[in-house]
Amino acid sequence: MKAIVCTKYGSPDVLELQEVEKPTPKSNEVLVRVYASSVTAADCMMRKGTPFYGRLFLGLMKPNISITGTGFAGVIEAIGEEVKLFKEGDSVFGETGVGFSTNAEYVCLPEEGLLATLPNNMTYEEAASICDGALTSWSFLKDIGKIQSGQSVLINGASGSLGSAAVQIAKYFGAKVTGVCSTTNLEMVKSLGADKVIDYTKEDFTKTDQTYDIIFDTVGKSSFSHCQGSLKAQGGYLSPVLIPLLLQMMWTSNESKKAKFSATGLRPISELRGLLNELKEVIEAGKMKLVMDKSYPLEQTAEAHRYIDKGHKKGNVVITVKHNKS
Ligand SMILES: NC(=O)c1ccc[n+]([C@@H]2O[C@H](COP(=O)([O-])OP(=O)(O)OC[C@H]3O[C@@H](n4cnc5c(N)ncnc54)[C@H](OP(=O)(O)O)[C@@H]3O)[C@@H](O)[C@H]2O)c1
């Protein structure tokens, strides 16, 4: 089968389209014929091997698992003899996490992994992106931030993958939402339901009198110390970008205002499955949609990485995979 292989850390040029062996499902695994897979900001950082501490999980000198990609959607082509939850022909989506290997024509994963049937109102391209921004923002706002109806919530980076989902999730929970983005994305963020938008190229949200129960800095472009004055008493600053948040989390552990981080993909699989099922219900009820930016054929995965490296994607980027009729 065709797959995108990364055998060293570096620029998008390290990504190569190669012919590799098609995987065979173990007894507890399903084999998915991939129709779409995600390329994310996190994938680009993993390709670069930065920040360096990430290599403790990924491989010190080169990636331990060479086929890139974590999010996917497709159709189950075969199942192992012990598989009970899925059957051949099911349309599914999910994420392999540290198993990677989704930027390929086929991928295998355990039936008990992060795997679910495709929401009935979604394309494969949209579903392949759910486990990145949408699931991460769901985990941050609902579990880490404990968002409540009526709270005032600011989403920084409201036009990105996490941000575009976060605006909709905060609205779903009944919050009053302010989205921060650049001029070109103001209308898009408003259309997602934001009550107010701030153009970061014209105004610094920390320099107004407005205060928030939650500031979710989805792109880590601000900092807890910078935002502290904009948090209400007991308010929380959430960010999915670890550095320099780690030290700030330690400093604020006894304070009323807190900085919080979580690595969503490293949460126990049972918790992630629970979160994914909740989120899927919200999507199926038409309460949230995935914002889709560009789509690239598998052969052009390096181009997708180049685009994301620029730091201005709107929502999600996907890879599509064509299969010959058999
Ligand atoms: N901890 C976790 O579990 C976890 C999980 C997934 C991802 N992540 C991390 O989360 C981060 C965000 O991921 P993402 O995919 O949402 O990012 P993204 O989609 O690549 O972010 C791009 C967006 O950021 C906006 N942006 C750029 N500079 C900005 C600024 N100064 N202020 C406000 N917005 C700005 C851009 O808008 P403009 O074009 O308008 O500038 C663009 O729409 C990444 O660092 C990723 O690695 C963490």
Residues 140 and 256 in one domain: yes
pTM above 0.75, yes or no: yes
| pLDDT tens by residue, 34-76 | 999 999 999 999 999 998 988 988 999 999 999 999 999 999 9
Asked if residue 197 is part of any domain, the answer here is: yes
User: Is 40 in the same domain as 141?
Assistant: no
Residue 255 lies in a domain: yes
Question: What's the per-residue H, E or C state across 184-209?
Answer: HHHHHHHHCCCCEEEECCCCCHHHCC
The pLDDT tens digits for 97-152 are 999 999 999 999 999 999 999 999 999 999 999 999 999 999 999 999 999 999 99
- State how many domains the chain has: 2
- Ligand 1 mean position to 78 CA, how many Å? 36
Q: In terms of domains, do 84 and 177 share one? A: no
Domain of 21, in residue numbers: 2-122+290-320
Which one, of 138, 142, 177, 189, lies nearest residue 315 by Cα?
Answer: 189
Q: Show the DSSP H helices in the chain as ranges.
A: 41-48, 55-58, 124-129, 135-138, 161-172, 186-191, 224-227, 245-251, 269-284, 301-309
Q: Is residue 62 part of a domain?
A: yes
Q: What is the domain-level CATH number for residue 165? A: 3.40.50.720
- Atom 47 in ligand 1: residue holding the nearest Cα: 42
162 by DSSP, 3-state: which? Answer: helix
Residues 182 and 138 in one domain: yes
pLDDT tens-place string over residues 157-196: 999 999 999 999 999 999 999 999 999 999 999 999 999 9
Q: CA-CA distance, 230 to 241, in Å (whole number)? A: 19
> Domain for residue 283, yes or no?
no
Residues 140 and 237 in one domain: yes
Looking at the structure, do residues 254 and 313 belong to the same domain, yes or no?
no
Task: Indicate which residue's Cα is closest to atom 29 of ligand 1.
Answer: 157
**Is cis: bond before 297, omega within 30 of 0?**
no
Same-domain check for residues 186 and 93: no
Say yes or no: 142 and 182 in one domain: yes
**Ligand 1 pocket: which residues have CB below 6 Å?**
40-42, 45, 132-133, 136, 156-157, 159-163, 180-182, 185, 200, 218-221, 240-241, 263-265, 308, 311-314
| 37 located within any domain | yes
Task: Indicate whether 252 pLDDT > 80.
Answer: no
Cα 157 to ligand 1 centre (Å): 6
- Write the pLDDT tens digit of every residue in 137-160: 999 999 999 999 999 999 999 999
Ligand 1 centre to CA of 72 (Å) is 20
3-state secondary structure of 42: helix
The verdict on residue 42 lying in a domain is yes
Q: Is residue 279 part of a domain?
A: no
Q: Which of 305, 295, 297, 242 is nearest to 9 (CA)?
A: 305
**Atom 42 (ligand 1) nearest CA:** 312
Which CATH number belongs to the domain containing residue 96 in this structure? 3.90.180.10
**Cα-to-centroid distance, 92 and ligand 1 (Å):** 26
Residues 22 and 106 in one domain: yes
141 & 207 share domain:
yes
- Going by C-alpha positions, the residue among 238, 226, 236 that lies closest to residue 264 is 238
90 and 210 in a single domain? The answer is: no
61 lies in the same domain as 173 = no
Flag whether 116 is in a domain: yes
